[in-house]
A = this chain, B = another copy of it.
């Protein structure tokens, strides 16, 4: 009943696919996306695809220029730092604005994330880490019933997701994985204690630390 609309579900599918490719650097900044090529790949015409690209442009992931092309945006270090500042604050708000009561289901999910992280420790992989991080982020926003807060957090997340991946080559993958797993562990313990605010604070603190690491390796 929710996805009865064929057009809407296709739109969401294409949007998600392209957004993931951009955030995972399958399309690095500067890549020119051809409407016709993409339309052919997804088996549709340019018209529906243009709507997807328009939304990606609204979200700041691409920019279309008449006669030139649709180009994946570059990440401006200064603006990304500001965006991270806001993301940090929103992460803290998840614990205060309409937090969902911590259920056994939620604790189970957190445990699963921790297990997945531990596996990654033994076999480090940049992309797998990035994907797990993305899934875990969605789990984090699901801890509030404030829809607007979820929406804004996700919007900002996707805008900054690439910066970490671009910096990764200069960072230590094993170290980054270890740091992430320790966040999962802290978060899990907070949730076991049924303390949603503590879980949000864990997240907030780790975003702060991430900002610091990025600053250190940028300058």
Contacts and interface: CB of A to CB of B under 8 A. Distances in A.
A109 to B, nearest CB: 23
A145 interface: yes
Main secondary structure of the interface of A (DSSP, over half): helix
A183 interface: no
Contacts of A5: 65-66
B146 A85 contact: yes
Copies in the complex: 2
Interface residues of A, number: 27
A85 B98 contact: yes
Interface string A151-177: 010011001000000000000000000
Given A7-B66, A85-B98, 13 more contacts: A5-B65, A50-B51, A54-B54, A55-B58, A82-B145, A83-B147, A83-B148, A85-B97, A86-B93, A86-B146, A89-B89, A89-B93, A152-B152
